[in-house]
Structure formats: C-alpha cells, structure tokens
Amino acid sequence: MNLLKIRKQRPHIPAIQNLCNSNQFVKLVSAQQTDIPAIQNSCDSNQFVKLVSILFLFIPFFLSAQNISIIPLPKSIVKTNGQFQLNSNTVIGMNSNSLLPQAYYLQKELKKTTGMVIEVDPNEVKALIDLQLVKGDELPGSYTLKIESNKIIITSSSHEGIFYGLVSLLQMLKTQPVGAIVNIPNCEISDAPRFQWRGFMLDESRHFFGKEKVKQLLDWMAFYKLNKFHWHLTDVDGWRIEIKKYPKLTSIGGIGNKTDTMAEAKYYTQADIKEVVAYAAERFITVIPEIDMPGHATAANRAYPEYSGGSINKYPNFTFDPANEKTYQFLADILKETNSLFPAGMIHLGGDEVALGIQAWAGKPAIMDLMAKNRFTSLADLEHYFFRRMADTVIGMNDKILCWDEAAETDLPADKTIVFWWRQNVPSQLQLALQKKYQVVLCPRLPLYFDFVQDKSQVSGRRWIGTFNSVSSVYNFPYKEFPADQLQSGQILGIQANIWTELVGSEKRLDFMIFPRLAALSEAAWTDSALKDETSFNERLRADFVLYDKAGIYYFNPLNPAEHPEAIDFAPKIIKPSVKEKHHKGGHKSKLRERHLKSSHTKGVSKQHRSKKSGKQKKHTAK
C-alpha cells in the first residue's frame, strides 16, 4: 500500500476496515477510541501495525477538518491538502457583471471581518476569488465552493447560490486567526438546501425594537442561510406600519405596547420599510408583512372605531366589522399601500383566533341581516366570508395569501394559498390544509416558538403543559413522526420559527431567546436529516459563541447554562394555589390542560408565567 498516496487523499474507511477481521475499526473511528491494547486484540499483529500506521497518517486530516466550521452543515465537504492565503493582494472577479452586488457584499464583509480592503475587478482573468454563474437546473440556493492554494472558485446556476457560497466562505474565515494573511483550509464543498422556506418571524406589535435591530437580525439570518423574514406588524397592542391614507393608524394605533398602554407611538415609516426590504434583498431574504384580520384588530379600531366589530369581556374591539361595507374598502386600501412597499408577492392576512372575539358579532342587526341574506348558519360562516373577500383583494394584486392554520377551513384557491401550521396539538388542521392542496409552512409552537423557555431552569416565558423548546428540540425538527413523502412533497415548503414578544421588551432578552436557537433552526431547515449530527453541531456552535461575544449578543449557552443567566424583562407573577385548589389538585390540572388544548395564539401562557404588568391572555402564546 502506498502510504504517501493515502496522505494526499480523503480517508477511505472501507479499504482500511479490510485490514481487520471485525467491525472494531468502525467503532474505533466513530467513537474516537484510543485504547490501543483493545484495538490490537481485535486484529492480528501484522494488520494492527498497518492500521496504526495509517491512523497516525490520518490524524492531521481529522484535526484540520475540524477547522471547517459551517452552520448549517453543507451536503458534502472534502478536505484537501494545503491552504489559500487571503491578503490585500487578493482580487474578487466574476464571469458576469450581474454578480457585482454579490462581489461588493463579499468585499464589505471581508473588510469587517479581516480589516482588509480587497479589490473587486469584473475582469475574471485577475480573480483569485472567482464567482462563476453557470447554466443548470439545480435546486435554488445550490452552490459549490472550491478552495485551492492559488484560487477560490464559487459556482452556482443562481445569484442566490453564489451568495450562499460566499456565506460559507465567510463562516470559514471568521473562525481563523486574523492578521495580514488569513489562511483558509483547502477543501471542496457541494451544497444545497433541504427546504426552500427557511423562515423567522418577529412580532413587533407587542414590543417594538426598531430598524437597526431588525437589520442585525437580518444579518444573522443571512449568516445562517435563512431566507424568509415574516414581519408581524399589526395586532392588539400596536400598529407599526405607516399607511398614508389613514395616518391615525400610527399616530393613535401606534401608541402603547403590551406592558405600557401609554408608551409613545412607535412604528416604521414607509421609508424605513423600503430601507429594510432593500437590506434584506441584498442578503436574499424575502420580507413578508402580516396585516392581521379579522381578529387582533384592536390597535386599528382604536384609531378608526367606525370599523370595529364590537367588544366582549376581555376582548374589546378585537375584530373588524364584517357587516360594514366600508370595512372592506378600508382594509383594501391598507393592503394596496402595503403591497407597494413589499415586493414579496405575498401578504400574510393572519386569520387566527377570531373565535376569541367573534361573539361580539352575535345579535347585531346588520350582521344578522348579512347572515340571512347569504344563508349563513353560524358566525364561522361569516368569518370565512370576510376572509374570502379580503383574500380576493390580495389575489387581485397578483399576490399569494398567507394565513394561520385556522383559515385552512376557508375555501381559498389552492395555487394562491400558503397555510402556516402552528397548532401542534391540532394535527387535523395540517391534514386539512394538505387535503385542500394548500402549500404549508411548518411552524408548530413545539418546538418552533422562540418565546417559549429553552431550559427547565428558566422562569420567564411560555411552556406547553410543562414542555419547553430546547436548542436540541429545534435542531431535531421535523421529527420522524412526519411522513417522509409529505416532507418531500412540493406542498410542504419548509419550516419557520416565530417569536411573540409579550414578555420580550429589551434587545438583551430578544437575543437571549433567539440565540442560539436560530442556528439550530438553520440546520433543521437546510441540512438533510440523514446528514445531521447533533454532536458535530454543538462543536460548531462553540465557534459561533465567540462570534456572538464579538457582536455583543447576549445568548443562552445550552452547553453551559450558568454562563449567561436568564435575561428577564418582566418578573413572572407566582400564584400560589388556594386551599380549594390544593384539595382538588387532580381536577385543577385537568382543567388547566383543557384550557391549553383549547387555547390559540392568544392563550397559552400559564398563569404562573404571566407578567405582573400584563396579566391578560396572550396571542400566539399558546399556539
């Protein structure tokens, strides 16, 4: 056997295994055992000498491969000998001027990472980092990254794929020592995403964080190859998007938040939104606005009470009025202005938890007349009528309708509808959506609601009947319980994590709840399940902790929970059980569980985890 040749090649495990008469070698490599006598006992002496000799040759390979730290894990990484030396003489080139935006993005990020000013030259002949757009029918986002001692080549059939190749290169750079020369290990990476929808949702109605924080989140989404930013901009507690035709939506509806009803009005101007959308597009992230209806309309109804569907106890002005014809024009005007700001080609209409306030419609003469005219037999029929009309407005703008899973019961055009399945305790809604041929995004609150606590020691945040959303549970989603044929079908677009901000009022706590679960989400969404390795992920995550520290991110460390104490904005209110409750402990638990099972976005926070300032029930909280 030519050992010098082996040194230059990728290890070939089957060939080495043939040197032994048992499976012990495979176990050795898997477990990284170093018990030489035990190994020797499983091989005869001549074979053992050869085996140990080869293993010592491979040790440098295993050690250097560990330097390639990329999240999400690529489809294939082949480590080769040598390294590329990045320095100020490096030139970024391309075979198409259409790649200039990606080249300038890399140039800017390299300056931030290394301090080097790298030249961009469209003349590909000079390129040491060469971006190559090629013809092909590969999955969107696919790319190859080849690092050789004298050149780096990133190849894809799409601009998006070129961008993700750049991201992988930048991740490799960020784990290397910075100096006048940065050494990047030679390798060849072939990669493609598992899902095309890799989403994250931020609720800014409950608490507002602002443009710069959103941009920072978009940076990290790009770093982790996430590509859909769902922006929840309207709800009970505040209206956060400027609509010029209806200025009171922000001047009045923008006042307050979940914990301070008199807080000054905060919202995004249309100029702000255009800036954020452009910033996201540069990173191949689509921004999808949510204008919630017909429920969760309280902030809008504060500003324009003439469109309110009425009030009931605990849910004042929660819905829009379905019997007022002017309501539909009001909302159509809002959707048209919204559509002009977001080129996503889709608008999320909410459609969730209408049942919480729907009884306000009961008995109103105009509503009874509308129901009689259309031969509706229930208020739910009226709800579906309302949603279909607003969906028609969205379709008329050539946009797709996005909605929470309650709206799957409405008859909507299958080719224009995307349903977000959030109620993990109602699997029938997922099946209904699939039966109706709707496309689906999986975002079940277990484990993809990031407002849930992530460790048993944490006290501020939500749980679902005692269950919390650990980094591990996010990483391992979707679970084996999901049929493979469904996951591989075109109907399931991908997965998304959501964070509702009832108990998140500061950037510090926002970061603590998002990181590092965002990294786990990225690998769950991108990497094929057969390639996922949680031990490997945790090792790569350690490298990212260094990056979080540099960026000033206050994160939860699942590998050492005591390192960063829980960031708490609103102290939980602990309610001790009464004497009666103690005597009826079993019945109390049963009723609590029943409330959880019935709960929706708004209900799901157990009493002992409610904020002192916000004792009201929460939206999307028990989702």
Regarding beta strands 417-421 and 492-499, do their DSSP bridges make them parallel or antiparallel, or are they unpaired? unpaired
In angstroms, the CA 574 to CA 558 distance is: 25
ω into 577 cis (within 30 of 0): no
Tell me which of 130, 160, 204, 235 is the catalytic residue: 235
Number of Cα atoms under 13 Å in the Cβ half of residue 115: 6
Tell me which of 204, 290, 292, 353 is the catalytic residue: 353
Copy the structure tokens of residue 554: 């206050």
584 tagged catalytic: no
- In sequence order, what are the residues at sequence separation of 6 or more whose Cβ sits closer than 8 angstroms to the Cβ of residue 468? 452, 453, 454, 455, 456, 458, 461
In angstroms, the CA 389 to CA 332 distance is: 10
Tell me which of 207, 230, 232, 296 is the catalytic residue: 296
The single-letter code of the amino acid at 254 is: G
C-beta of residue 127 within 8 angstroms of C-beta of residue 93 = yes
Which run of H or E residues covers position 183? strand 182-191
Helix, strand, or coil (residue 324): coil
Count, residues in the chain: 623
Nearest to 518 by CA among 474, 548, 553, 562: 474
ω into 447 cis (within 30 of 0): yes
In angstroms, the CA 415 to CA 228 distance is: 19
Helix, strand, or coil (residue 142): coil
In angstroms, the CA 553 to CA 560 distance is: 16
Nearest to 241 by CA among 272, 212, 215: 272
**Residue 335: C-alpha distances to residues 39, 231, 244, 246, 349 (Å):** 69, 14, 12, 12, 9
CB atoms within 10 A of CB 40: 16
C-beta of residue 144 within 8 angstroms of C-beta of residue 191 = yes
352 tagged catalytic: no
In angstroms, the CA 341 to CA 336 distance is: 9
- Is 270 exposed, middle or buried, given 0-12, 13-18 or 19+ CB atoms closer than 10 A? middle
**Residue 274: C-alpha distances to residues 170, 231, 248, 333 (Å):** 27, 13, 21, 18
Copy the structure tokens of residue 260: 């301070």
235 tagged catalytic: yes
Which run of H or E residues covers position 537? helix 534-551
Catalytic residues: 235, 296, 353
